[in-house]
Structure 1
Amino acid sequence: MQQHISLYELNSLVANVISTTIPHSYWVEAELSEGRENRGHFYMELIQKEEGTNTPIARASAKCWRTTWSQVKPYFEKITGLQVRAGLKLLLQVHAQFHPQYGFSWIVDNINPEYTMGDMARRRQEIIRQLKAEGVFDLQKELRLPLFARHIAVISSETAAGYGDFCNQLENNEYGFAFDVTLFPAIMQGEQAERSIIAALDAINKREEETDCVVIIRGGGATADLSGFDTLQLAENVANFPLPVITGIGHERDESILDMIAHTRVKTPTAAAAFLVGHLAGTLQRIETAQERLSIRTRERMEREHLRLQRLSANIPTLFSLVRQRQEMRIERKLQRITVAVAERQTKGTHRLEMLATAIPQALQRNFAERRHRLEMLSQRAESLDPDRLLRLGYSITYYDGQIVRNPRQLRTGDRLTTKTEKGCVESTVV
């Protein structure tokens, strides 16, 4: 019978080989693709992607036992402000373990939070470079905050102390300005912050006409809490937003990408409120300055006009006298011209009447002579056309049915004709 060993013996042999040949722990760079906590232990799926792509070129499973995880987890979260979650780049200290019952695993002894922080910084620089390449990095800076910016859309957690401080600062401002604040609630930290803030921006965009600007505020916290504000998609949404966006999401030492591309970046929520109050106060100052200038200019103009009226009042009697003299001289010249014109018109009329008095009798005599001559001519013509005169000269006139016969072709056989002569009438019949 062939010699053989049991599976347990084989696995124990492998475990001895691994513990002998790989006795040390190693610091390993990897991306966490999946992580889950069970009974205090943390189970990980690690991958390495090909540079510049999302293609995995290596995979491994790892475990962090409860005793180690209870120390690693709070320290990592304290330094980074993040939970160990999928998508993070990690630097893990691991050692190899082969258990006869459970097989091979990498056992996590420690996680370096500074490495994750450095990776986040590298990603920030890449996002900034891409925003500048797209030409949107300074778009918000080109917008103008309305002079009377009173209608404020706030993106914040409803229960955040920073939001309460912001509202109190606006409400109790020293100028008594009245602001209209509308809250658009959003998650302000963690993995859901990006998606939640973008949803709030979309809601504000639908009410653009009734909004002057947007304020994104959050209280303080660890620097890594700002990771939700260092995403490309959120930065692009804010950069292209049609209204000015003011951020007050961190302390003075912290600056997120969102702060960089915003229209105005202030330190805290109360500083954001102070900025809005100061902006409106600046507008008030401009109005008061303009009002004062207008008042001064009006007063100066009234003084100049008053002096002008005084000068005019002093000159009115002299001017009136000059005007009256000029008008009297003008009227006198017109009267003289009218008198001369009337005299000339009268002389011409008298001369014309004299000429008419001489010409009318002569014209009447000529007219009577012409009419008398015409009557004589008409009388002679009428006499020459008298039918009785023609009959006396030997002519006759033939009638048919009372009408003078001018064309014999009009007559028919049997027609009765009457022929008139100087001495009488003759009846005849056409044959």
Structure 2
Amino acid sequence: MTPVRLSDLAFTLEAVIDNAFGQKAVWVIAETSDIKNYPDRGYCFLTLVEREAGASAGGTLAKLEACIWRKNYHTISEFERTTGVAFARNIQLLLLVSVSFNPVYGLRLEILKIDPSYTLGNLERERQAVLDTLLRDHPELIWLEDGQYITANQLLPRPAVMQRIALIAAPNSDGWRDFRHELAQNPFGYDFVVDEYLTQVQGQGAERAICGQLERIALSGIPYDAVVMVRGGGSQLDFGSFDTYLMGQTVAGFPIPILAGIGHERNVSITDLLCHESVKTPTKAAAFLIEQNRQFEANCLLLGDRLRVVAREAMQIAREQVDRETERLRFVTQLYFRECHTSLAEKAVTLRHLDPSNVLRRGYAMVLRNGRILTKTTDIQPNETLQLQMHDGTVEVEVV
């Protein structure tokens, strides 16, 4: 067998591949790996991989080198802007590629376009699969009503005033800093007691770290008004810890209202769907607490105003009633005293008529024994001396 030069073989491969794939573009599904990105130069090198379904590391079916040149480099930023997912390793993508072979650099795929809808669909399918599993496994914690997810955590009563807060955040992170600053600088001067449960909130093991802090909070025995989970902005992949089965189960059944402000504007995580209240950013989480307390204060002030009005009206009604009763009492009292005066006048006339001096003046006399009036003849003994009281004086008489 006659050997051939390596260059001849390489040129032959180049011709064959160019004949098969030249001037053609192919859509392929592959997973990214070993990315070397050079934004300042406007190009990117990476490896595209296809793995066996469910296989662990090493179960690789295919691996090809790929690149994105300057003319198509904008597709990376467009993909990130559309999906909210950072262009990073271990993402499955739908790519439009051209195939080329260079005798020196070998076989390489040039990426012409990235389809964002495929990635968004994958993320949504994975999220929906987790939600469906939660619905099946924990119907007591999460269920559907009119197409909306309802959880036990959402149905917890919200305190009228929320001041004792358990905060889950990454230490010294932007999310932690924004939340604390917004609370401290609230224009109403409200005081908050914030106990920090600091932990990682992204990356491998983040979901277990967050759930571990939630368990610490539940076992603390401290009557927190709410648990606040905050995180600064980032790519969609950075929010993976908030889209897991464990996180959904823990949040849905947690015994204290959970407020999530995990810093994303585009997509809604499983934690957002199942927690008591979800806002977009850590700053808005703090603003939510402030507004909750401001609303309570406004209601108290409104009730105070209503109480003053009602008290004023009640006092006015009572005053008018007292005036009416006073006038009635004055009338009744005057009538009573007038009747008493008439009665006393009549009695005075009667008394004057019954006055003994007036009776004696009319010719009558009184028989006395030692100053005591005698009214019966049987009380008088013969030969005793009695007094006879007349109008102009007293005389002694002897009974015969």
TM-score band w.r.t. shorter chain: 0.5 to 0.7
Question: Could you tell me how far 1:55 is from its partner in structure 2?
Answer: 8.1
Aligned mates of 2:265, 2:49 — CA distance in 1: 38
Aligned to 2:60: 60
> Which of 305, 324, 348 pairs up with 1:292?
305
Q: Secondary structure at the match of 1:153?
A: strand
Aligned mates of 1:317, 1:167 — CA distance in 2: 69
Structure 1 or 2: more helix by fraction: 1
Alignment CA distance shift 1:155-1:82 (3 Å):
farther
Alignment CA distance shift 1:145-1:31 (3 Å):
same
Largest Rg, 1 or 2: 1
Question: Could you tell me how far 1:132 is from its partner in structure 2?
Answer: 4.8
Which stretch shifts more, 108-117 or 227-236?
108-117
Question: Could you tell me how far 1:210 is from its partner in structure 2?
Answer: 2.3
Residue 298 of structure 1 aligns to which amino acid in structure 2? A
Correspondence list, 1:102-251, <5 A: 114=116, 115-132=118-135, 134=139, 135-136=142-143, 137-139=149-151, 140-207=153-220, 209-251=222-264
Correspondence list, 1:329-344, <5 A: none
Aligned mates of 1:113, 1:158 — CA distance in 2: 36
Question: Could you tell me how far 1:281 is from its partner in structure 2?
Answer: 0.4
The yes-or-no answer on 1:314 pairing with 2:319 is no
Residue 165 of structure 1 aligns to which amino acid in structure 2? D
Question: Could you tell me how far 1:216 is from its partner in structure 2?
Answer: 1.5
Aligned mates of 1:203, 1:318 — CA distance in 2: 76
Aligned to 2:317: 304
Aligned mates of 2:224, 2:239 — CA distance in 1: 26
CA contact (8 A) 1:198 1:237 kept: yes
Q: Secondary structure at the match of 2:195?
A: strand
Aligned mates of 1:274, 1:263 — CA distance in 2: 16
CA contact (8 A) 2:69 2:110 kept: no
CA contact (8 A) 2:31 2:48 kept: no
Aligned to 1:84: 89
Q: Secondary structure at the match of 2:238?
A: helix
Aligned mates of 2:221, 2:302 — CA distance in 1: 31
Aligned to 1:384: none
Question: Could you tell me how far 1:124 is from its partner in structure 2?
Answer: 1.8
Q: Secondary structure at the match of 2:196?
A: strand
Question: Could you tell me how far 1:251 is from its partner in structure 2?
Answer: 3.7
Q: Which runs of 5+ in 2 are unaligned?
A: 2-8, 36-44, 102-106, 144-148, 344-400
1:126-153 residue CA offsets vs partner (Å, 9 max, x unmatched):
2334445533431233223211111111
Aligned mates of 2:119, 2:239 — CA distance in 1: 14
CA contact (8 A) 1:158 1:183 kept: no
Sequence identity, in percent?
A: 28
CA contact (8 A) 1:76 1:113 kept: no
Which stretch shifts more, 281-290 or 309-318?
309-318
Question: Could you tell me how far 1:226 is from its partner in structure 2?
Answer: 2.6
Aligned mates of 1:207, 1:263 — CA distance in 2: 20
CA contact (8 A) 1:170 1:273 kept: yes
Alignment CA distance shift 1:117-1:253 (3 Å):
closer
The yes-or-no answer on 1:48 pairing with 2:61 is no
Correspondence list, 1:367-378, <5 A: none
Aligned to 1:426: none
1:189-243 residue CA offsets vs partner (Å, 9 max, x unmatched):
2233322221221122123542101111112223343333222221221111122
Residue 184 of structure 2 aligns to which amino acid in structure 1? E
Aligned mates of 1:230, 1:76 — CA distance in 2: 24
Aligned mates of 2:63, 2:195 — CA distance in 1: 47
Aligned mates of 1:69, 1:48 — CA distance in 2: 26
Residue 206 of structure 2 aligns to which amino acid in structure 1? A
Residue 84 of structure 1 aligns to which amino acid in structure 2? R
Structure 1 or 2: more strand by fraction: 2
CA contact (8 A) 1:82 1:190 kept: no
Aligned to 1:253: 266
- Superposition RMSD in Å: 4.6
Question: Could you tell me how far 1:68 is from its partner in structure 2?
Answer: 5.4
TM-score normalised by L of structure 1 = 0.55
Q: Secondary structure at the match of 1:138?
A: strand
Alignment CA distance shift 1:59-1:70 (3 Å):
farther
Aligned mates of 2:298, 2:270 — CA distance in 1: 33
Q: Secondary structure at the match of 1:254?
A: coil
Alignment CA distance shift 1:27-1:255 (3 Å):
same
Residue 126 of structure 1 aligns to which amino acid in structure 2? A
